[in-house]
Structure 1
């Protein structure tokens, strides 16, 4: 990371400008431009209120929106005066697990010194080509009380369309389309995506560390943060760093899904973690969705199935602690699995690792028997104490070379950049909801919205792809298989029974799909709530995956993203007569050709393309 020299008001010029009005009673402004000059954020203290507004391509994205929090009974963000600022520049690139191989982290920044209610605080501004982030930082003060967060987003464009989820503390609710004026007084979860003046805009927060997680609600036309799990606030003697309030901006859906702004706003990992060979993305079999509790007697069979599928991992979920010899059976299974090239993950309850001593003891015991990862379930609502628990759990798991999957978890805030052993987390209503034994069924639009909302800010453990006919509940086989490609998760825990995978006529394609990608494109015909069509590359191979909502549709997909051919395409489309079958095709194709997708209601399509 490269940071430029600082400058003090009013002597700065260039990409960040400060405008001092003639009278001290008038507003001061700090303007920050993105490296490409197309995105701008302007912070000012007009009327004694600290706000920022955002434009992109000369069009308004955010109208003046507050930056603030309430501490010790005072509103920091009101009665403010900008005193000075310094500017900086970030130019960084780092490897990432997910929809692409590398993250670009280029931004212009400002750190603004602000006087408010007898305190001097700092406001940070980060402006990148893909969006804007702001936050406050407060100096340490004995027994400081954080009362409430008072930041927000005022979307431009009047009454924009948006795709949002009503708030659940486990982040497992459906996404649906609405408009700003229809949100009412309900609590909503982040991220939220809106269409503002022709731009795709996703709102969320980054680097939620030593601070409570936030939901949002509509107040006077503005989306305002709410510390839902800390209604009474907290006391601290430490410096306070507000999470970044993030506005991702994209001209098209490919730019949107490829944003790494949330991850960029977190610190890089240690050198040891950045180079760790034991952190290995991969696909996993998993028994809970298929059969419920694991059986002590058939663990080697599950390892054998996993090996036959070529998957890297097998997850033993809740119920193993009730076995007759739980620890001995875990150790035996891990030894058997290792001999077959399979790593074992194990489910635990967050109560099992609630304290440092408990975490260290349990993680060491798992590592000693050869377990490679832990799925940690049912954390409490993410107040300040529990957001710190996430970080401590990641850190102590890393000390024992354990990878982590957080379940029932708060949304990602990019901390997986700092702790890359956290390969994924749930924080999404996935296939665990779409299951007959609990009489639960996902609405058809949900799957087509997720890639452009929840998955914009980080990987999600959807537990995809179930082929049992009774569990389809309207979905087609192609729709289910496409979930595996579209719902990014570097630890890709598969929901279906391995025996149904091995018997499926699409087994060759299923076995080839990787857990991480080098490149992702969103193709024509994609629209949240209607359909998603992606092309994803791993190495020299390309995959096309499509998911449809509740209306049948035909789409034409151009293959111009391919390099010069010829290529061999194996496609698995919908059988129009029955959901549990494919229309399979295998043919040579070239980049100047197109293919037609004939998708059923709740249908899909998957193709594997290899250069001949």
Structure 2
């Protein structure tokens, strides 16, 4: 049924057609009592949301006219009252189209924020008025609920029952995991056990080859959401760190509930939706010169706790690689007996590093920076000795109080001109757009946990990294730590995984003595353009071409041994110098290095080992 059929007597069809879509939506506002459904659409019309109110508030989401999901019973429970029960829609605002760009650190340097916005005014059964705000992008549907309130309220959470196709495959961190550091596994949606809880994001591969990712964005002043399997193909929103709800004062705005929908992996990986749904930074942070992405050496996987006598050698190695940062982890507080003596030792290292064009980050437990007063004092001390960033570890589970701690910490760090890396952390929800001094965070099962299955490695780019940057600490080349992986697989992680603070897991000595030394010196921490290459498959193979300036890097991670071919038409008609680091069959710790030239459009034929990989560096040939 069309919108015109839903509004008999409002206006003639010919008149509506003359006046266009904005007038159509405006008339839906006036005539909603006669209507039972409203179709909202994205700018290109490929993503749609059909909103209905009978018998409950529901939203059916579709991609290219094929239904992907349905959310039923959308509502918010405040002080024991469900505002979504028997709601009455009062009005829908005229469609508002927004199209903007902004700087982003990650898969590409410029993000596109293009959406159609609709605001639905609703009245609950008890007379409470509230609004349901939709934003439809060409690759996603997002909605949030807003309630004007004064004084204190008790929030139980916002609710919806989601239905997805039972024949889809869902990639998620394993039922029961609560750390955001679980292994990504693929399951049949219809085979999930009722009552199990899944951390988000999760990515579904639908039967027709399209993709759907469930997540949330702009999480602030609220509790962390997970999804619970409530039936076959059904999911329900749950707030596991505030199971009894939480107290709130003033107006209530929920985080954005998001379903990313694409028909290809390239669009999924390049989606900006999660950060688009967050406010831009203030003017002081917009182009702050002290916020600088970079490559970083890190000692933990080699030495664990840092030995003071080793630190100058680590700094020297970082300098020889040409990398910007060195991170000193847990243990430095015990140097020279601890307390002020440890701080002085750290200050001396900062000065030593500055002479070698390296800047230092240091680790801190969140218990030392929990309150504003603690942070103000600690951050001032860190800046006074010349640290440029802090790795903050061990935050508590993300109830309402700890969710707000992240933003408060970033605000105080911005005042002190400090960059931040959160570990043991809540998933990112796009707030790095608002606070660009957050360069990365963990919320991932990374190289720190040892060698991980190749299925996990090849799922991450299409699930966790769509959510935001992650500190995987990749690329361990030491032969005794490969455990089945190839060094080409390890090297490819540095290309395929995005983190503006690209913190690498092995020692400078291993990097500098390897056949990949020149490439390791050249790999950047942010990219201008990203292309997911044909043949990529969630959990099996991740093949990426990424550009920085005029240089291209290709990274391939794979699970099973086999042949793979790369079409280089993305290079155009230019000639390139080519450095290749391939798998060496039967010798996982050895690169097969090849140097030569290539013209755009030529094909690269690869033989990939099990748990293998491939990396190429392409530089334009000088005329």
Q: What's the TM-score, normalizing by structure 2?
A: 0.93
- 1:288 corresponds in structure 2 to 300
1:216 to 201, 215, 227: 227
- 2:201 corresponds in structure 1 to 191
Superposed displacement of residue 296, structure 1: 1.4
- 1:323 corresponds in structure 2 to 335
2:79 to 72, 78, 85: 72
1:385 to 385, 391, 401: 401
- 2:592 corresponds in structure 1 to 583
- 2:57 corresponds in structure 1 to 50
Aligned residue runs from structure 1 range 207-356, under 5 A = 207-220=218-231, 221-324=233-336, 325-356=341-372
What runs of 5+ residues in structure 1 fail to find an aligned partner? 1-9, 435-440
- SS of 1:496's equivalent in the other structure is coil
- 2:508 corresponds in structure 1 to 498
Q: Distance in 1 between matches of 2:30 and 2:62?
A: 22
1:114 to 122, 125, 131: 122
Q: Distance in 1 between matches of 2:540 and 2:211?
A: 16
More deviation, 234-243/255-264: 234-243
- 2:556 corresponds in structure 1 to 546
Deviations along 1:413-439, one digit per CA (max 9) or x if unpaired, are 0000000000111100000111xxxxx
Q: Distance in 2 between matches of 1:93 and 1:22?
A: 36
Within the alignment, does 1:403 sit opposite 2:419 as a pair?
yes
- SS of 1:272's equivalent in the other structure is helix
- 2:3 corresponds in structure 1 to none
- SS of 2:454's equivalent in the other structure is coil
Aligned residue runs from structure 1 range 329-478, under 5 A = 329-434=345-450, 441-478=451-488
Q: Distance in 2 between matches of 1:109 and 1:19?
A: 15
Deviations along 1:15-45, one digit per CA (max 9) or x if unpaired, are 6737589995x76433321111211112221
Deviations along 1:565-603, one digit per CA (max 9) or x if unpaired, are 211110000000210001111111111210112111110
CA RMSD of aligned residues (A): 1.7
Aligned residue runs from structure 1 range 508-519, under 5 A = 508-519=518-529
More deviation, 12-21/596-605: 12-21
Superposed displacement of residue 312, structure 1: 0.4
**Contact 1:21 1:28 (C-alpha < 8 Å) held by counterparts:** no
Q: Distance in 1 between matches of 2:286 and 2:152?
A: 36
Superposed displacement of residue 171, structure 1: 0.3
- 2:613 corresponds in structure 1 to 604
1:557 to 556, 559, 566: 566
Q: Distance in 2 between matches of 1:486 and 1:323?
A: 37
More deviation, 282-291/34-43: 34-43
Deviations along 1:529-573, one digit per CA (max 9) or x if unpaired, are 111110000000001100111x21110001111022211110000
TM-aligned CA distance change 1:168 to 1:379, over 3 Å? farther
Q: Distance in 2 between matches of 1:468 and 1:370?
A: 32
Superposed displacement of residue 152, structure 1: 4.2
TM-aligned CA distance change 1:267 to 1:344, over 3 Å? same
- 1:479 corresponds in structure 2 to 489
1:128 to 124, 133, 137: 137
Superposed displacement of residue 336, structure 1: 1.3
**Contact 1:27 1:45 (C-alpha < 8 Å) held by counterparts:** no
Q: Distance in 2 between matches of 1:288 and 1:443?
A: 21
Within the alignment, does 1:574 sit opposite 2:583 as a pair?
yes
Q: What's the TM-score, normalizing by structure 1?
A: 0.94
**Contact 1:43 1:50 (C-alpha < 8 Å) held by counterparts:** yes
Superposed displacement of residue 158, structure 1: 3.9
Q: Distance in 1 between matches of 2:302 and 2:226?
A: 33
Deviations along 1:250-271, one digit per CA (max 9) or x if unpaired, are 1211100000001000000011
Superposed displacement of residue 444, structure 1: 2.2
Superposed displacement of residue 239, structure 1: 1.0
Q: Distance in 1 between matches of 2:291 and 2:522?
A: 21
More deviation, 529-538/291-300: 291-300
Q: Distance in 2 between matches of 1:267 and 1:589?
A: 43
